[in-house]
């Protein structure tokens, strides 16, 4: 596993993990837990299994935070970036089951996004394109931190965390401005960290990107709009710096995980699984 990817976990403040875990648990169990009365507080062990082939694990700090809040521990067998992963969760039965669904929901969503990002990065690398594959702000309300984190684990750029991150002119901005050149001047004098021009549709992209780069070599050109895993290669160009895809988070398949409580005295051994570390 590469060094930079291993450090992604350190980008999440612990108080953010705690806040989100408490919100998810409160949403799933806002008052009584009648099932918890039935199972009691006997110490149990559950194994996390990934049932979707070629899944890239992402979301482990959020998964762990949920179980920490309910008094359980999590031991990861593989780090994020691993394909086909397992972990072991230990704690009182009722507490483990309290955290099961929120934790699995988070892990499944984040791992699905990371897997798609990893596949997109592979497509770009195979084509010899050296720009950035990026996500967008088309994230699930209240879940942006998890989804942006999953993008990093999958090897893509988060792009803007929010509107404050950079100035980027899109079609609706241009429509509301009488002259594009005046907008460019406003951006250049705003002393922000980056200047972007957003170009779509595809048939105009390559010519416009080339012309803009010739006139303004330091300008960053981003292509977006209708980009999918199937057609992303048609956007690759030496004049395009960034390709952003809303489908990284919208309509992205989730990875299927299950958490299985181990029965005392039963043969609970797992099959040997070969894993690949990205």
Which of 47, 51, 125, 138 is labelled catalytic? 138
Is 125 annotated as catalytic?
Answer: no
Q: Which residues contact 162 (CB under 8 A, 6 or more apart)?
A: 137
Which residues are catalytic, by number? 138
């Amino acid at each position: 596993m590469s060094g930079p990817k291993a450090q992604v976990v350190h980008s999440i403040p612990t108080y953010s993990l705690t806040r989100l875990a408490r919100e998810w648990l409160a949403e799933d169990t806002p008052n009584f837990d009648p099932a918890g009365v039935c199972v009691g507080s006997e110490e149990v062990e559950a194994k996390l299994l990934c049932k979707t082939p070629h899944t890239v694990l992402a979301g482990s700090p959020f998964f762990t935070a949920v179980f920490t809040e309910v008094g359980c521990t999590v031991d990861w067998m593989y780090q994020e970036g691993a394909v086909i992963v397992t972990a072991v969760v230990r704690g009182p039965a009722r507490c483990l089951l309290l955290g099961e669904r929120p934790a699995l929901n988070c892990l499944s969503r984040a791992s699905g996004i990371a897997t798609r990002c990893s596949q997109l990065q592979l497509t770009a690398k195979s084509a010899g394109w050296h720009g950035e594959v990026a996500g967008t702000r088309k994230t699930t309300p209240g879940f942006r931190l998890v989804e942006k984190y999953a993008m990093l684990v999958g090897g893509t750029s988060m792009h803007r965390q929010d509107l404050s991150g950079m100035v980027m002119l899109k079609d609706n901005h241009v429509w509301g401005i009488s002259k594009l050149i005046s907008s460019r001047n406003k951006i250049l004098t705003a002393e922000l960290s980056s200047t972007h021009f957003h170009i779509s549709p595809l048939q105009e992209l390559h010519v416009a990107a080339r012309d803009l780069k010739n006139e303004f070599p330091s300008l960053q050109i981003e292509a977006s709009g209708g980009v999918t895993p199937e057609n992303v290669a048609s956007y690759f160009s030496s004049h395009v710096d960034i390709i952003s895809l809303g489908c990284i988070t919208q309509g992205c398949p989730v990875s299927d995980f299950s958490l299985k409580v181990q029965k005392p005295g039963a043969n609970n051994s797992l099959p040997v699984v070969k894993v690949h570390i990205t």
